[in-house]
Chain A
Amino acid sequence: MDAHIKKVYVPMTETGFYILLCLQEPNHGYGIVQKVKTMTGGDIVLAPGTMYGSLSKMEKDGLISFVREEDKRKIYEITALGREVLETEKKRIDRLYRNMKEM
């Protein structure tokens, strides 16, 4: 992971985290919105302007890659770099959680 990626994605925004989490399987923007909505019990509803900007940025930075287009929807999937960034974030959240439980 180079310095630029680290600076931008560590730590990650909640939106970014959920996008990477969902893209461990191929999906498109709205699919991610629906999945996150279900996952969080309706608490987090991602918005299209944010989603589109995040997906474009992550694709440019190499965290996700374009798979194919289906019915005018672009389908993405996480890359190896994306998995690395996600792992780092997972560890960070884990550590936060463990320390939180202890105090």
Chain B
Amino acid sequence: MKDKKITFKYFSIAEYEKEEAYLRKMHQQGWKLVKISLRYLYVRAYIFEKCQPEDVIYRTDYDQTGGDAYIQMFADCGWEYLFDFDESSYFRKKKEDIAEDEDIFCDDASRLAMVRRVFKARYIPYLTLCVSDIIFWIGLDSLIYMGSGKSGLIITTILWITILLALLYLGVLTMQFYKCEKKLAEETEAAEGVKYKYIGLAVLWVALALVTGILILYANRSDYSVTDRDNGFSIESKRMNTELEREYEAQKGDQIAIGHDIDDGYIEITIEDSEGQVLASQSYEDWSEDIQTIVVPKDGRYRIICKGRHARGSIQVNLE
């Protein structure tokens, strides 16, 4: 087992050069690549076998596999075929056998073509996923919040954070592809096209970020009405994402009755006395008690704080 080694590494789909450099370094340390396993998301497990330390160059080609003839052509040129992983073909050749300027591509045009194959097969679907996730999940959440109580809120918050992280990663990926394409298209007629393509993508990214921000703000809006009475208040809400306070004089033995009919989200009611001590605190979701009564322990002024989170429904507080 000491003859085998497993490492976990992350390379984005645009970082093929980094991966090639890593494999070369490992071989120089006496570990040759044997296999790759898919792990979680973009983190892969690289499996190495002990070997003579040697300077060996690793190269990957994306989605050009043409079976035996393809492998044979590379073999004829001295490149050992390892395997295919995730639509990339892995090759290696001893550095000493490689002439100056020799590579698996002999012009930037074919190198650029490879990067574009990766772009088409990996970036575009990821972009589409981000756009549809934003529109569907966050759009839906801003219009019809369907979370139940506190647990629903945790789930939606996690969802937002995930989508924001995905958007951030999209930005990073776009930058990486831009650097790749720009370098390969430099001083050719493809250069102009590359510039416009990435300006377009940058604009799209900014638009997505703005839309996401606006939708999140919209999801956190409040649309409710309060009716105040002498001895209490009621709230009718379509969506409540704010806090309000009311103060009342009460005597020992009085009862504070809280009735609620909440459909989505929750409303948290906290009752404090004049010294700021919390008398009671309860959140009302869509399946708890209908009416709750709290007994006032002593005379004084009491403050009732009502905090809503995506709350839809009604709540009544009455002093009796």
* CB–CB A74/B69 < 8 A: yes
Cβ of A53 under 8 Å from chain B: yes
With most chain B CB atoms within 10 A of its CB, the pick from A14, A48, A71, A72 is A48
Taking a contact as CB atoms under 8 Å apart, the answer to whether A29 and B105 are in contact is: no
* Distance (whole angstroms) from the CB of B185 to the closest CB of chain A: 14
Assuming the contacts A52-B64, A53-B113, A54-B110, asked whether A47 and B105 have C-beta atoms less than 8 A apart, the reply is: yes
Q: Please tell me the size bucket of the interface on A.
A: 20 to 34
- Closest B residue, CB atoms, query A34: B76
Residue of B nearest to A69 (CB): B69
Asked if A24 is an interface residue, CB under 8 A from chain B, the answer is no
B61 touches A49 (CB 8 A): yes
Counting CB contacts under 8 A, is A99 at the interface? no
A29, B73: Cβ atoms closer than 8 Å: yes
Q: Are A48 and B74 in contact (CB under 8 A)?
A: yes
Give the contacts of A29-49 with B (CB-CB under 8 A). Answer: 29-30, 33, 44-49
B37-77 residues with Cβ-Cβ distance < 8 A to A are 59, 61, 64, 66, 68-74, 76-77
Partner of B79, one of A14, A48, A53: A48
Enumerate chain A residues within 8 angstroms of B70, measured Cβ to Cβ. Answer: 52
With A45-B99, A72-B69 known as contacts, the answer to whether A50 contacts B76 (CB < 8 A) is no
Interface code A47-86, partner B: CB below 8 Å = 1, 0 otherwise? Answer: 1111111101000000000000101111000000000000
- A52 / chain B contacts, CB cutoff of 8 Å: 64, 66, 70, 73
Q: With both chains docked as a complex, state the minimum distance between the C-beta of A88 and any C-beta of chain B, in angstroms.
A: 19
Alpha-carbon distance between A33 and B174 when the two chains are bound, in angstroms: 36
Q: Which residues of the other chain, B, contact A28 by a CB distance below 8 angstroms?
A: 73
Report A29 CB to chain B, min CB distance, Å. Answer: 4
The complex places the Cα of A49 from the Cα of B109 at a distance, in Å, of: 11
Q: How far is the CB of B105 from chain A (nearest CB, A)?
A: 5
- Considering only residues 72-112 of chain B, those with a C-beta below 8 Å from chain A are 72-74, 76-77, 79, 99, 101-107, 109-110
Report A-chain residues with C-beta under 8 Å of the C-beta of B105. Answer: 47, 49-50
- Chain B residues with CB under 8 Å of A53's CB are 64, 110, 113-114
B73 lies within 8 A of A51 (CB): yes
B73 and A30: CB pair below 8 A? yes
Nearest residue (CB) in B for A14 is: B107
Alpha-carbon distance A73/B151, docked complex (angstroms): 62
Nearest chain A CB to B305 CB, angstrom units: 68
* Also in contact, A13 and B102, with CB within 8 A (given A33-B76, A49-B64, A74-B69): no
Query: Given that A46-B106, A48-B104, A50-B107 are known contacts, is A30 also in contact with B69, CB under 8 Å in the complex?
Result: no
Shortest C-beta distance, B182 to chain A (Å), equals 20
By a beta-carbon cutoff of 8 Å, the part of chain B in contact with chain A is 59, 61, 64, 66, 68-74, 76-77, 79, 99, 101-107, 109-110, 113-114
| Interchain residue pairs with CB less than 8 A apart (17) | A29-B76, A30-B72, A30-B73, A47-B77, A47-B103, A47-B105, A47-B106, A49-B74, A49-B114, A50-B104, A51-B73, A52-B70, A52-B73, A56-B66, A69-B69, A72-B71, A74-B69
**Which residues from chain A sit less than 8 Å from chain B, CB to CB?**
13-15, 28-30, 33, 44-54, 56, 69, 71-74
